[in-house]
Amino acid sequence: MVTLVDATTEDEAFLYEVYRSTRHEEVTAWGWGDEERDGFLRMQFDLQQRSYRLQYPWAQYSILYKQGVRIGRIILDESPQEIRLIDISLLPEYRNAGIGTAFLKELQKRAETHGKPVRLQVIRSNPAISLYERLGFYPVENQEPYAVMEWCGNQHE
């Protein structure tokens, strides 16, 4: 079973590690040394956090736990009109194990109960797009290099 716990300032090192793990393969391919790579990723993480806080000041930042172990992060912004999935990231050893799928299905149930769509934005090269499509998300807007996707339950038929 996976649980969500509000993230605190004490979780910042873990949150950075999760972020770093999502970009590690990409940045390693550039041929930089450890110091350059880590400096770049730290800068990118800090910028991402600032951007999210400016765009979504009321967002909920949570740590995903499985059997008492931190395994990832979730950032959600729920308004009366929608549930926006800003970010879902898991540590590599927990990816492709159905955890993200289960979380998204629960989010869809919650959205349907409240009559809201779930919206997200994903970079087009992210393999998670196929997961979102399997779960019924469809593109609603193109903001290169991102796809804006939405799930509306039975409303999109």
Q: What is the pLDDT of residue 144?
A: 87
Question: How far is the C-alpha of 140 from the C-alpha of 124, rounded, in Å?
Answer: 13
CATH number at residue 114: 3.40.630.30
> What whole-number percentage of the chain has pLDDT above 70?
97
pLDDT tens digit sequence for 73-117: 999 999 999 999 999 999 999 999 999 999 999 999 999 999 999
Give the residue numbers spanning the domain of 72: 2-155
Instruction: Give yes or no for a contact between 68 and 94, defined as CB atoms under 8 angstroms apart.
Output: no
- Mean pLDDT value across the chain: 93
Q: What is the pLDDT of residue 15?
A: 97
Instruction: Give yes or no for a contact between 41 and 19, defined as CB atoms under 8 angstroms apart.
Output: yes
Question: How far is the C-alpha of 22 from the C-alpha of 156, rounded, in Å?
Answer: 31
φ, ψ (nearest 5 deg) of residue 146: -105, 155
Structurally, how many domains does the chain consist of? 1
Give the predicted TM-score (pTM) of the model: 0.90
Neighbours of 63 (CB within 10 A): 19
